[in-house]
Amino acid sequence: MSMGEIADHGSTGRNAWRAIKKHFDTISTVTIVQAAVRIAVLLPLLLPRLSGGKLPMWISVACSAALYIAFVIPLRFWAKEKLRRLFFTRNASGHRKNPYQKWLQTGLVRYGRGILWGLPFLAGAGYFLYGKAQMSYTDMWQPVQYLAVLVGKEPNIGTGGAVAVVLLALFAVVFVYGWWRDLPVEYMPVRSLGTVRSLHWSKRIRKKHKKELCGNAVVNILLSVIPAAAAVAVLVPYVLSRVDFSLSMDMVANLLLRLLKAPLPRTQILELLAVLALLYLPLCVLRKVRNAALMGKLMHQHPEHHHHEEENGEGENAPERESKAHAIG
């Protein structure tokens, strides 16, 4: 039996581990290609430094953004299809040629829907990133101190900053939820279904299998917490050695802002790279394979979509039927 035939048996974790052991070469290839492309699209960000500051930063950012849209977004669907086909192959989407347009179109819709949920968080984070780079300490924190009014306090940086952190955390949770709810779309057979039907199937699965999807999300969160905790363990001692938290909130905020503007020492950079290589990447791969295993299992439970495809000549036997029709003609 192939993995696709037995994906509906056993737990998601067990199926994921079996796939990793059986298809380690395929999973490794997908991971390496994705990592290489993501690094490549960031290379234009080095152009301002390489040009001695002659090239404006916004041009390099625009180039990276365009490359990300053109290559990384469609590549997500290529990678997820490779993983999903380890567990579910009934659609035989390999028969569909030139899937790039469908991947890109579906990816833009998926990103657009997710980003709408994240607009408050992106706006807040964008303000602080811009302020960190372009604004003085006073100008950056002046609007923030008025957030203290939301909790019945007089405007001050300490309370306003705390309120800003809480709001950003809440906005981040909303963003994560909005991004997560369309996660099944990335594992749909987009090249055979197209954008609209992939979104419809994703919505149907999300409504009928909330419990399984939420359980998988909890496991993925725990797998994400491990490298995050390791990164915090690297950064917290570094921050504590340079910021005296016994000072006033205003002075602590000023010191933290200065620390953010300073480059990390080589030791901390190497430790963070170790966390990335030894914890984040392996657990990230495990999360993606778990998602594919769960989606394969759930897709097996919705045969009505396979029948619909076959009725429209888009099932796994469509090419064979077309060739027979030509022969008869």
* 189-200 per-position pLDDT tens digit: 898 888 999 999
Domains in the chain: boundaries: 3-315
Q: What is the pLDDT of residues 207-262, one digit of tens each?
A: 999 999 999 999 999 999 999 999 999 999 988 888 877 777 667 777 777 777 77
Between CA 202 and CA 183 the distance in angstroms is 8
Reply yes or no on whether the pLDDT at 103 is more than 50. Answer: yes
Q: What is the pLDDT of residues 89-99, one digit of tens each?
A: 765 444 556 78
Which amino acid would we find at residue 134?
Q
Query: Structure tokens of 67?
Result: 């490359």
Between CA 241 and CA 236 the distance in angstroms is 9
Contacts of 237 (CB under 8 A, 6+ apart): none
The model's pTM: 0.78
Q: Phi/psi zone of residue 248: left (φ > 0), alpha (ψ -120 to 50 degrees), beta?
A: beta
Is the CB of residue 187 less than 8 Å from the CB of residue 295? yes
Reply yes or no on whether the pLDDT at 317 is more than 80. Answer: no
For 81, other C-beta atoms within 10 Å of its C-beta total 22
